Amino acid sequence: MNRVELSGKGRILVVDDAIENIRILRAALKDEHDVVFALDGQKALQVACDQHPDLILLDAMMPGVDGWAVCAELKASVHTANIPILFVTALNSPEDETRALEAGAVDFITKPINTAVVRARVRTHLSLKRANDLLRQMATSDGLTGVANRRCFDETLDKEWRRCERAQQSIALIMVDVDCFKAYNDHYGHQKGDSCLTVVAEAIAGCVCRPSDLVARYGGEEFVVLLPDGDEDGARVVARRILDRVREQGIPHARSSCAPHVTVSLGMAAAMPARDKSPAGLLADADARLYQAKVTGRDRFCGGD
Q: Mention every residue, 6+ apart, whose C-beta is less than 8 A from residue 250.
A: 261
CATH top class, domain 150-302? alpha beta
Which CATH number does the domain 10-138 belong to among 3.20.20.190, 3.10.20.30, 3.40.50.2300, 3.20.20.210? 3.40.50.2300
* pLDDT per position as a tens digit, 9-40: 889 999 999 999 999 999 999 999 999 999 99
pLDDT of residue 2: 42
Question: How confident is the model at residue 135, as a pLDDT?
Answer: 87
Residues sharing a CB contact under 8 Å with residue 12, sequence separation 6 or more, in sequence order: 29, 33, 34, 35, 36, 53, 54, 55, 56, 57, 122
Q: What whole-number distance in Å separates Cα of residue 183 and Cα of residue 126?
A: 47
Ordered by start, the domain boundaries in the chain are 10-138, 150-302
Catalytic residue check, 221: yes
pLDDT digits 0-9 by tens, 103-151: 999 999 999 999 999 999 999 999 999 998 888 888 899 999 999 999 9
- N- to C-terminal Cα distance for the chain? 29
Secondary structure tally for the chain: helices H, strands E: 10, 10
Considering 221, 222, 232, 248, which one is annotated as catalytic?
221
State if pTM tops 0.75. Answer: no
In the chain the beta strands, taken as DSSP E runs, fall at 10-15, 33-38, 55-58, 85-89, 107-110, 171-178, 214-219, 222-228, 264-271, 301-302
